[in-house]
Amino acid sequence: MYSTIAIKKDSKRSGRIIGTHQKLDKIAHKIVVKNLPKGVKFPSIEKILLFEGMGGPDGLKRKSPGKDEPMHFILPDDDDGKLIKMIEDHQYNLRKALEKGDEIRAAFEAAWMAHAVTDGLTPAHHFPLEETQKELMTEKEFIKVFGIPIKGIMHGRSTAETLRNNWLYWGSNGYMSKHIAFEYGAAITLAALPERRVMPKITADELENPEIHEAFYSSLNKIAKLNMYSKFRHNGWTADLAFETRDILLPEIIKAISLCWLASLPKNKGKK
């Protein structure tokens, strides 16, 4: 999902125009605050959002593409467990930071956890784009746009192969073009909706003792069954896809972020 369309690295407006991650985090934060146990403090949404946009994973990809980039892709039918391990690592660090009262570190871990959860539940991330990138480009193949290195030209062994590789990736129906188009559609859908329209329904039992693994995979399975990205690749954005995004995809992502944050609170710190 989009967290920034900023061109400059130090842009202070990162995420203000199309900041899907930020908007989802804001709604999830309201749910968490309402369900915090007594005596437990959670980072303010203002501090959490400092680590989104250019301060988050998407910003890292712009500052140093190809170097230690967190890859938030998952194949629901062939999960290698890497993404949930990453989310659980953030859970461990977030809980430790909350126990120590380190709000800045807690805000960082909360933001990056939410980013991983959101991307992992986004249908465009259920396609093996990472493997496709490795097949069509190498770490040496970067171009600079406004001084920022970006993965770009994919050189082949001949001019024809170079043209073919770039068309497969950036063409009208290319892998990256479709990925970007799907996320843009979801971003526009969310931008046009009031918060109450995508507020998830979470039962008292789900809020009582949430678990990271259960919360993430429950939402993942529900979203994966819709085959949204497959339908999008064949038919583009349709009214049915827009309704599924509004009624299922966005609420499920918000629900998963909320439950994963609540599952990261210090243990035995009072009742809700």
Summarize pLDDT for 58-103 with one digit per residue, the tens: 766 555 555 555 667 899 998 999 999 999 999 999 999 999 999 9
Q: pTM of the predicted model, to two decimals?
A: 0.79
Structural domains of the chain ordered from first start: 20-262 (1.10.575.10)
In contact, 86 and 146? CB cutoff 8 Å: no
Summarize pLDDT for 107-117 with one digit per residue, the tens: 999 999 999 99
Q: Smallest Cα–Cα separation from 143: which of 151, 135, 132?
A: 151
**pLDDT, position 134:** 53
- State yes or no: pLDDT of 136 exceeds 50: no
What is the distance between the alpha carbons of residues 71 and 119, in angstroms, rounded to a whole number? 9
- Secondary structure of the chain in HEC code, one letter for each residue: CCCCCCCCCCCCCCCCCCCHHHHHHHHHHHHHHHCCCCCCCCCCHHHHHCCCHHHCHHHHHHHCCCCCCCCCCCCCCCCCCHHHHHHHHHHHHHHHHHHHCCHHHHHHHHHHHHHHHHHHHCHHHHCCHHHHHHHHCCCCCEEEECCEEEECCCCCCCHHHHHHHHHHHHCCCCHHHHHHHHHHHHHHHHHCCCHHHCCCCCCHHHHHCCCHHHHHHHHHHHHHCCCHHHHHHHHCCCHHHHHHHHHHHHHHHHHHHHHHHHCCCCCCCCCC
- State yes or no: pLDDT of 165 exceeds 50: yes
What is the distance between the alpha carbons of residues 15 and 49, in angstroms, rounded to a whole number? 9
Q: Token pair of 271, please?
A: 């009742």
User: Which residue's entry shows tokens 């140093």?
Assistant: 64
pLDDT-based confidence at residue 132 (cuts at 50, 70, 90): low
**pLDDT, position 53:** 79
**Amino acid found at 139:** E
Instruction: Tell me which of 63-77, 125-139, 190-204 is least confident.
Output: 125-139
